[in-house]
Amino acid sequence: MQTQNALGALFLVFLGMVEVRARQPCSPKYLRATAMVCVCNATYCDTVDPVSLPDVGSFVKYTTSRDGQRLERSEGKTAAKSGASGGIFYTYDPSVRHQYVKGFGGSLTDSAAINILHLSYAAQNQLLCSYFSEEGIEYNLLRWPIGCSDFSTRPYTYDDRCVNDFELKCFELAPEDTKLRIPLLHRIMALTGRPLSLVSSPWTSPAWLRVNNKVYGKSRIKGEPGDRYHKAWARYFIRFFEEYAKYNITFWAFSSQNEPITALFISREDFPCNYFSPQHQRDFIIQDLGPALAASPHADVRLMILDDGRCHLPNWADQVIGNSTAAAFVSGIGIHWYFDSVTPAGLTLDVTHHLYPDFFLLYTEACNGYLDWDVKVILGSWERGTYYSSNILTVRGPPCYDQKFVALRR
């Protein structure tokens, strides 16, 4: 198989769908000798051939290459026996199942919304179609920051007007929600041909709930689990779901905190983060968040723990869902890709799944250019594209267990 100018051919064997439309090819623009992008503007954007099922004995191949191919579809015949056609031989046994893939997607952060809305309306539609429609790559997962994130232009939460507002009487969504992200989400929902699952995560809480009395910076929730600060923070999640329900938006899952540990090692003083140890997260779930969620109309929203690097596994899972009371409120474990190269999947993901097979593993964040010295944006970078692709294909390690995972991109 030729791999010099391609990610490699991914062979997909299906059982009976029919191709109904032709694709529009990539319109290439070369930025450097080794960097090319497909132009998407108000009048033209490349589309993807629909997934279709070949006859028995045939395969369908989708190829992306450095030379400009973008998920180009082709067909071929499978060999009758190993070695008959030369090259790589694949065997598919439908009775053997290793993992269930929930889907793929990205994050609609404030910065993403701002950049999309700076395009012309027609170009916005083309871009959204390329990500979410049946003519595009059909993202079906979307991560959603609860309040500000490190991809926001300002620090904010949904209860900044009052101090010690334990009853959350001043709670209100921000303009970034009501004027930017929610309107875009409604347009996305109108484009999708299959259900869209939303996953939410908070970066920080209102200043009056935090030890440093600021929305940003390295800090933690005041007091201890079970007290009025933690009760208010638990109610904050429920109010978030209630306010979004008014816009006919529901969530599939959420985590109780984005990067509860890693944020401590970030040098930026303006980074919004709440510190949680696994024991603190466990007790918060047992005494505050779990009961509040279970008693609310949103009890079907799945709660995730960790939402940080897999290097903290399996210890984090042992500390939280190793406790049966906490485990009763939890559905899964959120994971970030940072430093995966030095934390083997077999010693983290596989072991965790083996110990806790009833909890899903969800990759919730991956971002190129995250180190302080990295170039933040490199248009047309093939290397960054293959970095994402390789991580998706190799994330699970040895096929030892019935591991469940999904990869999201920020």
Q: Once rounded to an integer, what is the mean pLDDT over residues 184-209?
A: 97
Specify the 3-state DSSP secondary structure of 169: coil
Q: Express each pLDDT in 389-404 by its tens digit.
A: 888 887 654 333 333 3
User: Per mean pLDDT, which range of 62-66, 88-92, 116-120, 243-247 is the poorest?
Assistant: 88-92
User: Per mean pLDDT, which range of 50-59, 74-83, 387-396 is the poorest?
Assistant: 74-83
11 band by pLDDT with thresholds 50, 70 and 90: very low
**240-258 residues labelled b (16+ CB within 10 A) or e (exposed):** bbebbeeeebebbbbbbbb
Rounded Cα distance between 102 and 307, Å, is: 17
Tell me: pLDDT of 86 over 90.
Answer: no
85 band by pLDDT with thresholds 50, 70 and 90: low
80 band by pLDDT with thresholds 50, 70 and 90: low
Element (H, E) at 183: helix 182-191
Rounded Cα distance between 410 and 398, Å, is: 26
* Residue tagged active-site, from 176, 259, 269, 383: 259
Strand-strand pairing, 58-63 and 10-12 = antiparallel
User: Per mean pLDDT, which range of 14-23, 134-143, 268-277, 293-302 is the poorest?
Assistant: 14-23
Percent of the chain with pLDDT over 70: 88
Q: Once rounded to an integer, what is the mean pLDDT over residues 141-167?
A: 97
Tell me: pLDDT of 177 over 50.
Answer: yes
Give the model's pLDDT for residue 304: 98
Q: Once rounded to an integer, what is the mean pLDDT over residues 112-124?
A: 98
Give the model's pLDDT for residue 242: 98
Whether 138 is a known active-site residue: answer no
Orientation of helix 110-117 relative to helix 182-191, angle to 10°: 70
Whether 134 is a known active-site residue: answer no
Rounded Cα distance between 266 and 372, Å, is: 9
Burial class (CB in 10 A: 0-12, 13-18, 19+), 307: buried
Q: Express each pLDDT in 298-331 by its tens digit.
A: 999 999 999 999 999 999 999 999 999 999 999 9
Tell me: pLDDT of 248 over 90.
Answer: yes
* Residue tagged active-site, from 135, 138, 176, 365: 365
Q: Once rounded to an integer, what is the mean pLDDT over residues 66-91?
A: 73
265 band by pLDDT with thresholds 50, 70 and 90: confident
Tell me: pLDDT of 69 over 80.
Answer: yes
Q: Write down all domains in the chain, each with its CATH number in brackets.
A: 28-75 (no CATH), 105-393 (3.20.20.80)
For residue 117, CA distances in Å to 52, 62, 190, 237 come to 33, 31, 17, 28
Give the model's pLDDT for residue 192: 95
User: Per mean pLDDT, which range of 72-86, 107-121, 376-390 is the poorest?
Assistant: 72-86
User: Per mean pLDDT, which range of 61-70, 269-278, 358-367 is the poorest?
Assistant: 61-70
10 Å Cβ neighbour count for 388? 15
Asked if the bond preceding 314 is cis, omega within 30° of 0, the reply is yes
Nearest to 395 by CA among 364, 356, 368: 364
Tell me: pLDDT of 197 over 90.
Answer: yes
Q: Which residue has the higher pLDDT, 334 or 4?
A: 334
